[in-house]
């Protein structure tokens, strides 16, 4: 998909099509993080702090229970 920036006051705006917003579960109220790797613009929805905390907790649990096995598989 090729897009062009749109003039929005003194700024530039990027219009994101609804199917992409739906796919990423982004609404008008979703906070977005904008980053760059020096060549690309990266726009990511910020997940809720609670969801992030639950993910980290689950990851720690898996690593405690299966860390040695996962490390052996990685080698």
Task: State the burial class of residue 2 (Cβ atoms within 10 Å of its Cβ: 0-12, 13-18, 19+).
Answer: exposed
pLDDT of residue 15: 95
pLDDT at 47 over 90: no
Nearest Cα residue to 23 out of 2, 45, 5, 40: 45
Could you read off the pLDDT of 17-41 as tens digits, one per residue?
Answer: 999 999 988 999 888 989 999 999 9
pLDDT of residue 75: 86
Domains and CATH numbers, the chain: 6-74 (2.10.260)
Q: Give the contacts of 44 (CB within 8 A, at least 6 positions apart).
A: 32, 33, 35
Q: Are 41 and 34 contacting, i.e. CB atoms less than 8 angstroms apart?
A: yes
- Grouping H, G, I as helix, E, B as strand and the rest as coil, residue 75 is coil
């Amino acid at each position: 998909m090729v897009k062009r920036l749109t003039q929005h006051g003194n700024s530039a705006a990027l219009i994101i099509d609804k199917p992409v917003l739906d796919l990423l579960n982004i609404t008008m109220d979703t906070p977005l993080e904008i980053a760059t790797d020096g060549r690309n613009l990266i726009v990511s929805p910020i997940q809720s702090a609670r969801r992030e905390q639950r993910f980290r907790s689950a990851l720690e649990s898996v690593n405690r229970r299966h860390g040695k096995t996962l490390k052996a598989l990685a080698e």
